[in-house]
Amino acid sequence: MAFSIYDRISSVIWNTLQTSLYGLKTGVIPEGSEFRLASPWVVDIQNKTYKAQGIMHDLIGLGERRKLNSLSDLLISLSREGGDVGLMTAPFGEPHFKKFDKEMNRKEEVLLQRLEAGGVEIRLHGENHSKFLTTPLMAVTMSSNLTNAALFWHIEQLTLINSDAPGFEQTKTINHDLWRQGVTRNK
């Protein structure tokens, strides 16, 4: 079953990533599983309201719990737990997306360097306008970029398909095909 959500969608993204981290830590998700995100605009989103609760609180240490309130922290944690994590975005200076804002590009460069240092593969695609998150547990397609404005302030659309639902494999394949079109950064 697919679920469509028309609201501020940060909790869906965070819950998907946290659940995936839990799956890797407990072995429910096998090491080497793919986690792919795509957005032509991306920043190191801060989710200041995040608090590990329930079983996640018991599973991760205090130091890690304090770090899981940013997108980079979650992606690096997934990578360190054995996930094959990748993010695809548009290159700087790309006229199609008007990525000319020097301060925004500087912040994004800091994020991309941090992710690469943490084991996350970065790919660039100058024409990809799709936004998605694909994990072994679910596929998410969305109207929002991976920015604070899109996830916390705007009303956006998101479709979530659980891995056991019809359409999951097709969505995962489409997202994977888009991912493969990107060029690996710094290679």
The predicted-structure confidence for 146-168, as pLDDT tens digits, reads as follows 665 555 565 667 787 889 999 99
* pLDDT computed for residue 115 by the predictor: 94
pLDDT digits (tens, 9 = 90+) for 23-40: 898 899 999 999 999 888
> Has residue 28 been placed in a domain?
no
Mean of pLDDT over the chain: 80
Rounded Cα–Cα distance for residues 29 and 6 (Å): 29
* pLDDT computed for residue 90 by the predictor: 86
* Position 182 pLDDT exceeds 70: yes
Rounded Cα–Cα distance for residues 131 and 129 (Å): 7
> Has residue 49 been placed in a domain?
yes
Confidence grade of residue 87 (pLDDT, cut at 50, 70, 90): very high
> Has residue 47 been placed in a domain?
yes
DSSP state of 151: I
Q: Decide: 178 and 133 in contact? Cβ < 8 Å.
A: no
Domain extent at residue 68: 2-22+33-184
* CB atoms closer than 10 angstroms to residue 133: 24
* pLDDT computed for residue 31 by the predictor: 95
**Stronger pLDDT, 98 or 148, i.e. the higher one:** 98
> Has residue 115 been placed in a domain?
yes
> Has residue 135 been placed in a domain?
yes
Name, of 12-16, 82-86, 182-186, the range with top average pLDDT: 82-86
- In angstroms, what CA-CA distances link 85 with 1, 45, 128, 156, 169? 25, 17, 18, 24, 18
* pLDDT computed for residue 153 by the predictor: 61
Can you point out the beta strands (E) in the chain? 2-7, 34-38, 84-89, 121-124, 131-134, 138-142, 156-162, 183-184
> Which CATH number is 73's domain given?
3.30.870.10
Rounded Cα–Cα distance for residues 123 and 132 (Å): 14
> Has residue 27 been placed in a domain?
no
Q: Decide: 123 and 130 in contact? Cβ < 8 Å.
A: no
Number of domains in the chain: 1
* pLDDT computed for residue 134 by the predictor: 93
* Position 6 pLDDT exceeds 70: no
Q: If DSSP codes are grouped into helix, strand and coil, which group holds residue 84?
A: strand
